[in-house]
């Protein structure tokens, strides 16, 4: 089990919000080891441009594992240009069946501005309901806040920022130092 191998790494809240023809992915910057904040300015949301097409990815979990998955995702996107869902399904299949990849501990939120997906090592490629996805230790707090805020007239970025602020107030493994990327569909 992961807890047996690693000394209590915790942290991260990532949220994706789709509204008004755009998707915003926001992530906090905190990395914790047990009760200690190791870094407060980590960048867990990235913009990829495989084949000249923008894709935004937010990750929770082990950073090295996430970067391995991002590299694999870029290759899948190069092999299936413009087909985000197909590339994510292929990544999830590899992640689930490859002995090396099975050990990777991370989750991804992926979007091309039209499609919003959560990809897990259990083989899941999920398109969230209500145009909001959230992962990480504070993910459920951010998700609940964003779902409530979706009933307002706030923009996707405003919903994401407010939901992340609420998660940071509740989850000790989440801070308010955000990286925010916006992509249009």
Going by pLDDT thresholds of 50, 70 and 90, the confidence category of residue 5 is: very low
This prediction has a pTM of: 0.92
Q: Could you tell me if residue 18 is inside a domain? A: yes
d(CA 87, CA 79): 8
Which residues belong to the annotated binding site?
168, 171, 174
Per the structure, the complete domain to which residue 157 belongs is given by: 2-172
Catalytic residue of the set 12, 63, 68, 179: 12
- 111 catalytic, yes or no? no
For residues 143 and 58, give the distance between their C-alpha atoms in angstroms, rounded to a whole number: 15
Q: What is the spatial distance between Cα 21 and Cα 114, in angstroms, rounded to a whole number?
A: 8
Assess if residue 185 is contained within a domain.
no
CATH code of the domain in which 74 resides? 3.60.20.10
Is 184 part of any domain? no
Residue positions forming the annotated binding site for Na(+):
168, 171, 174
Total of domains in the chain: 1
Residue 124: inside a domain, yes or no? Answer: yes
Q: Is residue 132 part of a domain?
A: yes
The reply to whether 180 falls in a domain is no
Contact in structure between 119 and 110 (CB atoms under 8 Å): yes
Q: Would 9 be classed as within a structural domain?
A: yes
pLDDT at 3 over 50: no
Return the closest-CA partner of residue 122 out of 138, 131, 135, 132. 135
| pLDDT tens string 98-140 | 888 888 888 999 999 999 999 988 889 999 999 999 999 999 9
Domain presence at residue 177: no
């Amino acid at each position: 089990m992961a807890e047996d191998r690693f000394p209590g790494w915790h942290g991260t809240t990532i949220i994706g919000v789709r509204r008004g023809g755009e998707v915003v992915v926001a992530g906090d910057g905190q990395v914790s080891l047990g009760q200690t904040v190791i870094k407060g300015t980590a960048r867990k949301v990235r913009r990829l441009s495989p084949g000249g097409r923008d894709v935004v990815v937010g990750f929770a979990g082990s950073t090295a594992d996430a970067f391995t998955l991002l590299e694999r995702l870029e290759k899948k996107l190069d092999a299936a240009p413009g087909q985000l869902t197909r590339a994510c399904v292929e990544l999830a299949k590899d992640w689930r069946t490859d002995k090396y990849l099975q050990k990777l501990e991370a989750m991804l939120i992926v979007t091309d501005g039209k499609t919003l997906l959560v990809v897990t090592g259990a083989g899941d490629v999920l398109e969230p309901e209500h145009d909001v996805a959230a992962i990480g230790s504070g993910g459920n707090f951010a998700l609940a806040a964003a779902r409530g805020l979706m009933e307002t007239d706030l923009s996707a970025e405003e919903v994401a920022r407010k939901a992340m602020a609420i998660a940071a107030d509740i989850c000790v493994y989440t801070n308010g130092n955000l990286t925010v990327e916006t992509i249009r569909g």
